[in-house]
Structure 1
Amino acid sequence: MIANLPPLNAVRAFAAAARHQSFSRAAEELHVSHSAVSRHVKLLEEHLGVLLFERRTRQSSLTPAGQAFYEHVSLALAQIANAAASLKSGRRVRKVKINVRPSFAVRWLIPRLPAFMALHPDIQPEVVTSTLPPDQTRERFDVVIRRGEADWATNLQPQVLLDDEIILVAAPSLIQNTAFNSPGDLLKHTLLTGRTRRRDWQDWARHADIAIRRDQPVLKFDHLHLVLQAAVDGLGVALCPTSLLGKDLASGRLISPFPELRLPLTRYYYGVSQDAGRDAQVFIDWMFSRIQQDVVDNDPELSLQ
């Protein structure tokens, strides 16, 4: 595992550049030159074999691969920093084990975890992913999050966490090449779908009062975060819960051609283990505060402007 690590100085430079969306500001933070940051990022891109940034005259923006890499790297660096701070101060690090589905982990939880860790350096979140119904006899956790109340173990009491809706999204280039004047224009495109959300297109089409053709081109993926990556890459149109859109709309990687056309989804619920410590409630309170902040930060209309 250690032998497979990328050059860590390059990872640190990449994380700073990704956070600021600027090589110059990353250089200021790291007290190095702009060219040094650029060399580190280029070295990392060569090591990984992918392009992490799209270079522009006055700004460098993350590619989809760069965004996905940053979401994981930022969490890992925060964990390293917290571990070092705990050793230096002699504090005992407490752990909270959070059990979530993969797409919720990648699209909602992991991008927000560095903020939690900055607020609570003594609490170390441990994220495990599972698609199984919540059951402590099968796997240990402190907090579990799932959509809906079905199939929860009897010793867990699901509590409402987050309301959700589904909307249509696509890459800007796809919309520019084939105009979306009405929901019926959907039939001109390939539909992107996830294995765990097979009924979404039928439900949305019924809600939009259109009929999907039997010969409609469809691309299927294992998880929703792969569906969204395919949408960013322009492979087709996708349906996405608004809770999992992250910064894709704000950054312009995706747009919603019909932002007002939304389909209500089953809520997210959370459960707490009977033997969970008080830190589990700290984590839950933080989640609710982030959900409220997201409402303030996000454009309520999800407009194209």
Structure 2
Amino acid sequence: MSWSWRNLIRLRPYFRIHFCSKVGNGANTFMWYDDWHSLGALSYVLSPREIASAGFRISDKVKDVISDISWFWPAEWLLIIPQLNDYQLPKLDPLVADKVLWRERNGQKVEFDIQHVWKDLSNYDQKVPWVHIVWFKQCIPRLSFILWLAIQERLTTQDRMRFWDKNKNLKCSLCNIQPDSHSHLFFECNYSSLVWKVVKDKVGIKSNSHGWKELIEELQVLFKGKSIQIFIMKIAFAAAVYFIWRERNCRLFRKGKTDEMKIALNIFEEIRLKLIGLKGEFLGFDNDVKTKWGVPVGKKNHDFFNDQRN
């Protein structure tokens, strides 16, 4: 078996406890291996040898064991497991099929549904107040992912690398003055602060915060709304974090350098391309905004792409 299939099989014990059966006609529910009894799957309390010794078959279905609206447990089973007699006999209905149910983590049984199962198995924490800054309609995933890590301070900046090598002198590759931390890199560094200032002036972000955490708190309020201007500011902020982080890595590992204005122009081009391919309408996405960002005016976006191909 393949590695993937073997690992899927290993998940069976985890998921098995969530599946149970509601007996209808008893034709599709295994007597010993399906979870339809209050004790759970009877194979957990009865061995195959005990089942066979009592005259039953391993492959029996519920309808095969219930006869004349009754059943009779072997006396030796009742001595070992007296709870077997406590369960009320299910009434078989030949017109109703057996149904597979999903047992939630709180014990409630519901009809099996993929969406419901996913929600039940997933762990949902309380929404963070900055979620709308990072994840929003028509965001750019690669930008949002880096921003998501940055806000949580999970990027591998050199202040975190000190734990691995305390004797190494690690300085910011952008300014070469002090170690790059999240607060330094966004946007206390001379290099990144200039990029951020140019971007802010272009897109109209009015922020006076001097620290990374303070900036995030300020943008939580500033970035509320569904207008095209708010959308552009969100893309600009995510792009600024992304391109500064990429430039930092490029200088560390590739020994290449890009000046501040070129980084700013890359950010503006990212915004322009996103606006050209924008699906749906945002409040205020008029010809003035399109002209400012170099978006074709007077034709639909898909017509523009067709013209470019031709």
Scaled by the length of structure 1, the TM-score of the pair is 0.23
Which structure has the highest helix share of the two? 2
TM-score by length of 2: 0.23
Report which structure shows greater RCO (CA 8 Å, sep ≥6): 1
Q: Which has the higher strand share?
A: 1
**Which structure: larger Rg?**
2
